[in-house]
A and B are shown apart, each in its own frame.
Chain A
Amino acid sequence: SQQGEEDPQALSIQEGENATMNCSYKTSINNLQWYRQNSGRGLVHLILIRSNEREKHSGRLRVTLDTSKKSSSLLITASRAADTASYFCATDNTGGFKTIFGAGTRLFVKA
């Protein structure tokens, strides 16, 4: 079964608004990553947050991690039409190199 579960499954917003996606997971993790997938393409790594970190920023991206609630959120500020994509959280909880992906959130940003 999947480790990460994203919420919502789909999100539609206007350009300029902020988009927030959430991810919940079940077991202890070493780190949590967010990836983006444009239609018909492979996934692209966005940002990683380690289990001992609570918040991380990268450009217009802000990721939070709450290990007590086993949840993470990805915030995209001032969204653009080009942000339209599917976003996946992925967890690495084995200490090795097997990463488990969630089912993703489909984001649609209207121009």
Chain B
Amino acid sequence: DAGITQSPRHKVTETGTPVTLRCHQTENHRYMYWYRQDPGHGLRLIHYSYGVKDTDKGEVSDGYSVSRSKTEDFLLTLESATSSQTSVYFCAISSGLAGDNNEQFFGPGTRLTVL
């Protein structure tokens, strides 16, 4: 995996509790993404970042917020977790350079269960 880690790798939490997932990269890539993967849906983009403090919503952003205070870290927060947010969450990075054609590199994933 191209210098990208996620923590925690597994988490079980209860409905209504806040949860923060962390993505850390050592590639100095400009773009970072959070996806969720559910059976039958493939990967759906939650939020992405195009620079420090620069973020934008994806197709399933409701109930999620993100922050990027430095290049290497992108945090995903569920302010009040719901059972519908049980999923596998993947972080990805891309350089943003024209020659790289937005090839994305993925982290190992975080399996989140909300009871």
Contacts and interface: CB of A to CB of B under 8 A. Distances in A.
Contact of A101 (B40, B43, B103): B43
A88 B107 CA distance: 16
Interface string A84-95: 000010001000
Interface string B46-80: 00101000000011000000000000000000000
Given A41-B109, A45-B103, A88-B42, 17 more contacts: A2-B44, A42-B106, A42-B107, A43-B43, A43-B90, A45-B105, A48-B101, A48-B103, A88-B43, A97-B31, A97-B48, A97-B96, A99-B45, A101-B42, A101-B43, A101-B44, A103-B41
A104 B42 contact: yes
A1 B58 CA distance: 11
Contact of A92 (B42, B50, B102): B102
Nearest to A48: B101
Interface residues of B, number: 26
A42 B108 contact: yes
Interface string A1-41: 11010000000000000000000000000010100000011
Interface of B: 1, 31, 35, 40-45, 48, 50, 58-59, 90, 92, 94, 96, 101-109
A2 B42 contact: yes
Contacts of B109: 40-42
Contacts of A97: 31, 48, 50, 94, 96, 102
Contacts of A50: 101
B56 to A, nearest CB: 8
B102 A42 contact: no
Interface centre among B35, B48, B96, B103 (most CB of A within 10 A): B103
Contacts of A33: 101-103
A74 B107 CA distance: 24
